A and B are shown apart, each in its own frame.
Chain A
């Protein structure tokens, strides 16, 4: 055991304190929301609920899920994420694989077409009008199609495929495997870290999207997503922040805006927090390999 000098000890203690503070500052808001979501709505109004609920109840969640509008939005968000992620990872893998094949005739051309999208984009108004002219507004497809191809994710996956030994695909070819077979039977199974990483990224992107809902589909309540519903609550509450909330003590079913926001935020956040610890070791590896090699 090495002896610490006073300076080192001071530095180290300070470091632990600083990082703990940072950890608390990051975690506290989430724990606070969690506590509020499980706390009785009227009781929360008194303030002082921190990381543990004071008057535990499931009422907030029950009320939220009785709201059919919200229930529908949750299902749509889930559907969008599942379909969007499935299609997204499929297309990303196809494109990345083809671009990683050195002999591919269109390799340079398609690569260029893709790289340009990383730096140039039409801008918010031209994109809006394109979507409108394609008659994609007020439809579920606008959630899926424009996001199907993401140049950045394809580049990460391509560079990961390129680092695999060339002999793998050559021997597969000699054995008579088609490109589809090579991709799905050989390349993907040994590229699970990068596949997992990109899957997580795409899933998070879909789950967190709300602006396309706001811009293209805000007229049709049947297309509303969970994040958009949460956004509406946020915008409404900011306007009336300073006005006091009046809640009738006798009506049990009414919950305060604060509790609604807390509960809603938890509902929106939990799915991500459930999957991400499992994928963490993959994405740290995946993103750093892709990034450093670039």
Chain B
């Protein structure tokens, strides 16, 4: 008992000493709770027949009905497929693209050229998806768009193709746009790792008569591996979270069967039909898959002897 009270006293003294640190953080923690945890409270409505008027406290509970609806809904599987395919395509192209770009750039000795390319490559990361979508719409336009002009000049097509209105092109276009936007940016970290590689390794290889290409393959690539592995594992959990801005902006009513992703489906469904519970059920499904992926991948990487990432 005596021990507890002195412990409490000590704690109170510490609180008093740290009142500035507390003042710095408590209002911010309140913000975090309001904007990040309060929406989690909204998950309850996935188990309700939620009505906007009655709110969460007044709406009747219906158990797992909304999830049952979800798993019976063909559209849901289509949208899930789109989300996963685009997420996976982004992951693969982004991963190998960034590594390849970093490796190639690392081989450049002429530093002005290197810096110029680097600076240019980062630009798309900083502009909005709205701008990117505008650029791609213009390039792919059937009405004098660069892509069609090039294809026509090469004699590959006879009449211009309206790429953005072709279902089968959407995934390709979306992946290309994402890669174009983030290629330079995602290579920063690999460039930093390459800059830190011991130069003696390269010198020794050179003495042994290794070519540029072999040095890259036997020294640069292996030194990128640990970082690459961590980044790959981290991004696996995000496959289902591939965003919605890009799909919203690049997609249109013609290609919607291939462009709609989970978030947009939740949004459209809830707003058009007024069924917010269904939208919330989709959000929960997404979070569960995402967390499961992160945990599974983390576990797996522990098993593979790479150490847990998180």
Contact = CB atoms under 8 A, between A and B. Distances in A.
Interface of A: 5, 7-8, 11-12, 15-16, 18-20, 22-23, 25-30, 32-33, 47, 91, 94-95, 97-99, 101, 103-106, 110, 113-114, 116-117, 119-130, 133-134, 145-146, 148-149, 178-180, 204, 207-211, 215, 227, 230-231, 233-234, 237-239, 241-242, 258, 261-262, 265, 268-269, 272-273, 276-277, 280, 284, 287-288, 291-292
A208 B211 contact: no
B127 A272 contact: yes
Nearest to B269: A125
Interface in B27-74: 28-29, 31-43, 45, 55
A33 B124 CA distance: 14
Contact of A124 (B128, B131, B263): B263
Given A19-B117, A265-B134, A287-B188, A95 B24 contact: yes
A97 B55 CA distance: 39
A241 B11 contact: no
B7 interface: no
Contacts of B184: 26
Contacts of A123: 39, 263, 266, 279-280, 282-284, 286-287
Interface in B254-291: 263, 266-267, 270, 276, 279-280, 282-284, 286-287, 290-291
Contact of A125 (B24, B126, B143, B280): B280
Contacts of B11: 105
27 contacts: A18-B104, A23-B116, A29-B135, A33-B135, A103-B18, A106-B25, A117-B36, A120-B40, A121-B36, A121-B39, A122-B40, A123-B279, A129-B45, A130-B35, A130-B38, A130-B42, A148-B28, A148-B31, A180-B24, A208-B130, A230-B134, A234-B130, A241-B143, A261-B138, A272-B126, A273-B123, A292-B227
Contacts of B138: 29, 32-33, 258, 261-262
Given A117-B36, A261-B134, A269-B127, A234 B249 contact: yes
A230 B33 CA distance: 33
B283 A110 contact: no
Given A26-B180, A105-B15, A110-B25, A242 B291 contact: no
Closest 4 CB pairs of A and B: A123-B283, A122-B39, A126-B42, A125-B279
Given A22-B121, A119-B291, A126-B283, A287 B189 contact: yes
B interface majority secondary structure = helix
B264 to A, nearest CB: 8
Which one of B18, B162, B282 has the highest number of Cβ atoms from chain A below 10 Å of its Cβ? B18
Contacts of B131: 230, 265, 268-269
B14 interface: yes
A146 B137 contact: no
A137 B48 CA distance: 24
A15 B107 contact: yes
A106 B142 CA distance: 59
Contacts of B36: 116-117, 121-122, 149
B177 to A, nearest CB: 11
A12 B28 contact: no
A217 to B, nearest CB: 15
B280 A11 contact: no
B180 A25 contact: yes
A124 B249 contact: no
A127 B130 contact: no
Given A8-B212, A269-B127, A122 B43 contact: yes
Given A117-B36, A129-B276, A292-B193, 15 more contacts: A5-B211, A8-B213, A16-B108, A101-B21, A103-B18, A125-B42, A125-B266, A126-B45, A130-B35, A133-B55, A179-B24, A211-B245, A238-B164, A262-B138, A268-B130
B122 A280 contact: yes
A269 B24 CA distance: 35
Contacts of A119: 237, 290-291, 294
Contacts of B24: 94-95, 97-98, 179-180
A227 B130 contact: yes
B192 interface: yes
B276 A12 contact: no
Given A26-B184, A98-B24, A101-B21, A145 B134 contact: no
Nearest to B270: A125
B252 interface: yes
Contact of A149 (B22, B28, B116): B28
Contacts of B166: none
Given A19-B104, A277-B119, A210 B130 contact: yes
A125 B42 CA distance: 9
B270 A234 contact: no
A12 B45 CA distance: 60
B35 A146 contact: yes
A105 B40 contact: no
Interface string B159-171: 0001011000000
B35 to A, nearest CB: 5
Nearest to B286: A123
Contacts of A105: 11, 14-15, 18, 22
A147 B15 CA distance: 29
B190 to A, nearest CB: 10
A181 B17 CA distance: 15
A288 B185 CA distance: 11
Contact of A29 (B28, B43, B139): B139
